[in-house]
Structure 1
Amino acid sequence: MNKYLLDDKSFDKFYDLYLYSFNREDSVSRKRVFKERFDHSLVYGLMNGKKLGSGLFSIPFDVNFHGVDFKMNGIGDVMSAPEFGGRGGASKMLDQALFDMYKNKVTLSYLAPFSFGYYRQFGYEQVFDHTQVAIENDKLPRIKNSSKGYVERIDVKDIPDELKKLYLDQNHLGGVNRSKWWWDHMIDKHADHKVALAYNEDDILIGYMIYFHEQENFHIHEWINLNPLSRQLLAKFVTKHQSIFKKFIFESPDPDFKADLLADPYSAELTVTPYMMARIVNLEDFFNRYPVQDDLDEVYIKVEDTLEWNAHTWKISVYDKKVSVEIADGEAANIELTIQNLTKAMFGYRSLESLADYGFIKGDSNKIKALDKILVQKKPELIDYF
């Protein structure tokens, strides 16, 4: 029996700890949204006498990584009561959650860190960045009207199934394959958001934008385009708010600024911020089903990890895009690195060669280059937050 898993009877204690730990005000809507997460999560808690001392969510998701679906558990709301802090409660629960993920055949885990250093202790590493682009209303680019297509504006509660399918079809860089409950949860959580739908002349959805207003700011929360027409239609929709709002802010999961696409690159303020961390829970499965980019002669990789099932020397080879991976403890390693740096490389966040240049990994330079060639090179993107 897992001594940390909580049942439905513990909801009120868990919710009360959440309110206090994160200094949140109670409300009917906040409690309802929180209960939605609670009902769809593995909920961990550690008692301090008759009170709950620590808690966290482990939320089951699926993610699409370059065309391959992997199980991923998102860790959220890691919290401890002040009087219970410093006793290792969160560490014990997180260790148990990772063990349970492995047992349940979960390959990856993501989380939003309060401290990057703290979660690196548990094998997590930064791989997701966000780019926030802000433009004053008088510096918005001029967008031509299109003679084709149109935009329809709706409330977020009226999001059509075709939008959900469009998101799913475009999600392939490690983002969440949103299930019905997660869509419902996000819509409930962001009830004040609006949606702009871009259609072509055949009434086919080709793009959408989810946005909200905050005082004098127009915030774009999510923006997906199928083609240049949808981008033109939705950009024109934004600029038509020029007289209403002073600043327009887009937080993009794409870390590439693309300032060169603006007529005046100085017109935009750019902030690139670290977003979320990832962890490889089951390295063997990730290697076995990894979307390899090239073939590879045998390489021996020694991986340092706190998870014993990952902490091995692995023999990796790829022939005709088929991966062969097996434990080869005792063999001389060509490359030695931590699970954190291997995560960066396998997610396409930073190449092995770059990590070697900075002194984070060591090994045979030719083997490092050869292994780099099989890894994806495009940085991952994640919109969702938990």
Structure 2
Amino acid sequence: MNKYLLDENKFNDFYDLYLYSFNRQDSQQRRLVLKERYDQSHVYGIMNGKKLGSGLFSIPFDVNFHGVDFKMNGIGDVMSAPEFGGRGGASSLLKNALNDMYQEKVTLSYLAPFSYGYYRQFGYEQVFDHTKITMKNTDLPRVKSSEHGHVERVDIKDIPESLKTLYFGQNHLGGMTRAPWWWKHMQDKHADYQAALAYDDDNQLIGYLIYYNEAGTFYIHEWINQKPLGRQLLLKFITKHQSIFTNFVYESPDPDFKADLLLEPNSAKLEVVPYMMARIVNLQDFLQRYPVKKMNLAKVCFKVDDFLDWNAHTWMLTITDGIVELRIADDQKADFELSIQDLTKAMFGYRSLNSLAKYGIIDGDLDKINELDGVFVHQKPQLIDYF
């Protein structure tokens, strides 16, 4: 058993450190929400005398990456008491968590960084961006009313199972598949949120948005469309609030703005917001089950730099009729070398190997780099959830 794992009796210590470290006020809801995460997580901590000095969550999730399901542990609430800071407590906990993930056959890990540079030293890399779109109520587009379908408005606690099914069907770019407990956690955490449900004439759910309001602003938290009619109905629902709210904000997991779809593209203020980071925990599993884009690949050897020993090898990859064969080839000369962070970016579709080579970040046999680049997806990943 890992000596840093905390049991359920340490929740109050963890909660107290959480309140102090993140300058939060105690409340019944905050305690409930953190307890939900605590009960579902591997919780790590280091005691500093009689008090908890450092702590973090390693939360088991599942993600869908282009039709392939992978186990992913989310790292959350990384914290240290000020009097315990600078002793490497959080670093030790994170390294232990990564080792445990590998032993438990977890392939990937995500986290929300307080510092991208800090987490890069542990092999994490930015692969998720959000597009934050802000519009004034006077600039909202005109949307035609539809003679078909209708919209229903419900509190988030009353969202139907069909909404969860619709989310699952649209989630395939690295997003979380959302276990039942996580849906409940979202509802408890965002108890003041509401949902607008778009139905067609057959009363089938074809789109939804989850939203909230704050200080005169209409915030769209999540927006899923299955059909154009659903998008039209929900757009009309949004514009009907223009007499109530001054500003409208949507932070989309899709980094593509699609400004050309607006009548006046400059009517919207756009910000690309760096979001969460990812890490390949088990490179062998990720590559062997990866949704490859080439059915055949001649031998490519590449050396990976990683402080996780099981990833830090020269790997030989071949693909024959869609069957991936991967083996350690430390005795072979590598065609090129790259860090686990750069390989993560390439495999997630965030930045291609070709682009990394053009920027001089990786160097080696360009033909081999191009061949491997053709194996990976070139569509940026999308993640809505936060932990």
| Counterpart AA for 2:44 | Y
Question: 1:90-101 to 2 correspondence within 5 Å?
Answer: 90-101=90-101
Q: Secondary structure at the match of 2:222?
A: strand
Question: 1:271-290 to 2 correspondence within 5 Å?
Answer: 271-290=271-290
- 2-structure distance, mates of 1:309, 1:94: 17
Q: Secondary structure at the match of 2:90?
A: helix
| Counterpart AA for 2:329 | A
- 2-structure distance, mates of 1:302, 1:109: 21
Aligned to 1:34: 34
Which whole-Å deviations, capped at 9, do the CAs of 1:231-289 have from their partners, x for residues lacking one?
00000000000100000000000001110110000100001010000000000000000
Aligned to 1:334: 335
Aligned to 1:201: 201
Question: 1:131-150 to 2 correspondence within 5 Å?
Answer: 131-150=131-150
- 2-structure distance, mates of 1:357, 1:373: 16
Q: Please, which runs of 5 or more residues in structure 1 have no aligned partner?
A: none
Q: Report deviation, 1:331.
A: 0.3
| Counterpart AA for 1:94 | L
Q: Does 1:304 align with 2:319?
A: no
Q: Report deviation, 1:9.
A: 0.5
Q: Does 1:70 align with 2:60?
A: no
Q: Secondary structure at the match of 1:300?
A: strand
- 1-structure distance, mates of 2:94, 2:337: 26
Q: Report deviation, 1:357.
A: 0.8
- 2-structure distance, mates of 1:341, 1:177: 25
Q: Report deviation, 1:320.
A: 1.4
Which whole-Å deviations, capped at 9, do the CAs of 1:347-366 have from their partners, x for residues lacking one?
00000010011111111111
Q: Does 1:121 align with 2:121?
A: yes
Question: 1:77-96 to 2 correspondence within 5 Å?
Answer: 77-96=77-96
- 2-structure distance, mates of 1:252, 1:323: 34
| Counterpart AA for 2:340 | I
Which whole-Å deviations, capped at 9, do the CAs of 1:199-232 have from their partners, x for residues lacking one?
0000000000000000210000000000110000
Q: Report deviation, 1:377.
A: 0.6
- 2-structure distance, mates of 1:208, 1:25: 32
Q: Report deviation, 1:321.
A: 1.5
Query: Identity of counterpart residues, as a percentage?
Result: 69
Aligned to 1:382: 383
| Counterpart AA for 1:198 | A
Aligned to 1:357: 358
- 1-structure distance, mates of 2:264, 2:282: 46
Aligned to 1:260: 260
| Counterpart AA for 1:372 | D
- 1-structure distance, mates of 2:338, 2:277: 18
Corresponding residue pairs, total: 386
Q: Secondary structure at the match of 1:106?
A: coil
| Counterpart AA for 1:343 | T
| Counterpart AA for 2:157 | K
Q: Does 1:373 align with 2:374?
A: yes
Q: Please, which runs of 5 or more residues in structure 2 have no aligned partner?
A: none
Q: TM-score, structure 1 length as denominator?
A: 1.00
Q: Report deviation, 1:180.
A: 0.3
- 1-structure distance, mates of 2:146, 2:316: 55
Aligned to 1:159: 159
Q: Report deviation, 1:330.
A: 1.7
Q: Report deviation, 1:382.
A: 0.2
Question: 1:183-198 to 2 correspondence within 5 Å?
Answer: 183-198=183-198
Aligned to 1:313: 314
Aligned to 2:225: 225
Aligned to 1:55: 55
- 1-structure distance, mates of 2:320, 2:336: 20
Aligned to 1:269: 269
Q: Secondary structure at the match of 2:301?
A: strand
- 2-structure distance, mates of 1:27, 1:374: 50
Which whole-Å deviations, capped at 9, do the CAs of 1:100-155 have from their partners, x for residues lacking one?
00000000000000000100000000000000000000000000001111100000
Which whole-Å deviations, capped at 9, do the CAs of 1:331-375 have from their partners, x for residues lacking one?
000120000000000000000010011111111111111111110
Q: Which runs of 4+ in 1 moved over 6 A?
A: none
